[in-house]
């Protein structure tokens, strides 16, 4: 299973994602595809994101049980900590 969440994404990208995945809430897409198809869908996200941001999560046979990728500007940035992916929060702009 994979989940993609987009914010401030252009309508064209949202339409592309809706062609492959089920949009269960605004900007939240769910599906179950092979690693190769998942990578192709993520390439579509990267090429069509413009000023938006996105995260993709999928299950893996790792200690955490999942992996994820992010794209675009977001305060939450992934960081590796001894083999575990954790989230580091960036400071707010102007604060």
Q: What is the pLDDT of residues 11-42, one digit of tens each?
A: 999 999 999 999 999 999 999 999 999 999 99
What is the CA 56 to chain-centroid distance, rounded?
A: 3
70 by Cβ neighbours in 10 Å (0-12 / 13-18 / 19+) ranks as: middle
Q: What is the pLDDT of residues 41-95, one digit of tens each?
A: 999 999 999 999 999 999 999 889 999 999 998 888 889 888 889 888 888 775 5
Predicted local distance difference test score (pLDDT) of residue 94: 52
Q: Look up the pTM and report it.
A: 0.88
What is the CA 29 to chain-centroid distance, rounded?
A: 10
Task: Delineate the domains of the chain, giving CATH numbers in brackets.
Answer: 2-89 (3.30.70.240)
Predicted local distance difference test score (pLDDT) of residue 31: 98
């Amino acid at each position: 299973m994979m989940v993609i969440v987009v914010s401030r994404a252009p309508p064209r990208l949202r339409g592309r994602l809706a062609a492959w995945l089920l949009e269960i809430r605004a900007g939240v897409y769910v599906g179950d595809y092979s690693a190769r198809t998942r990578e192709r869908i993520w390439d579509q996200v990267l090429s069509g994101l413009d000023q938006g941001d996105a995260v993709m999560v999928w299950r893996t046979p790792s200690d955490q049980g999942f992996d994820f990728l992010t794209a675009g500007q977001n305060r939450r940035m992934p960081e590796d900590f001894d083999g575990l992916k954790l989230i580091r929060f960036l400071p707010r702009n102007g604060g």
